[in-house]
Amino acid sequence: LVTRLPIDGSDKEWVLINIHLAAFDGGSKVRRRQLEAVLSYAIAQYDKGDHVIVGGDWNLEFVKSPFPHKTAAKYLFWIHPFPHELVPKGWNLAFDESVPSVRTVHKPYEPGSNYVAIIDGYLSSPNVVVEDVAALETAFENTDHQPVLARFTAHQ
């Protein structure tokens, strides 16, 4: 989903791209193609001078999960690392490393038992400043994800 917002006093726009990449594709091949397409679109918008933020469920681990778990490997088939080498120079990834944003769904949530990971966050163009990013700890009360909030400003 692409949302465009005008920037006061400018012919440029905020281009907000909300994504949800594939989750259960073998070897994350579909995710990689989706990511490449999203990056291509985002770069084209930035090259026009717009301020670009891509956010959502990447279904790729930004960092290897540091959180303890007891989940069997057979339930982790969908976990793949985020290909950081694809991020264009000068672009910024923004995610909260202290709070997991997703959990496995093979059973009800039990802290320390379910595998949890950080797959939700943002990518912003070089003309955007990441002021703050924070995942909200909800103990996965309503879903298998936890919200990730961020605040951005335009780089002057």
Residues in the chain with pLDDT < 70? 156
**Residue 66 pLDDT:** 94
Phi, psi of 88 (to 5 degrees): -60, 150
Residue among 118, 97, 116 at smallest CA distance from 107: 116
**Residue 26 pLDDT:** 84
Are 80 and 66 a contacting pair, CB within 8 Å?
no
Q: Report how far residue 104's alpha carbon sits from residue 76's, in angstroms, rounded to the nearest whole number.
A: 8
Look up residue 133 and give its two tokens: 């990013």
Look up residue 106 and give its two tokens: 């093979």
- In DSSP terms, 26 is beta-bridged to none
Structure-token match 């120079």, residue found: 89
Q: Which amino acid is at 73?
A: A
**Residue 9 pLDDT:** 86
Q: Report how far residue 128's alpha carbon sits from residue 136's, in angstroms, rounded to the nearest whole number.
A: 23
**Residue 8 pLDDT:** 86
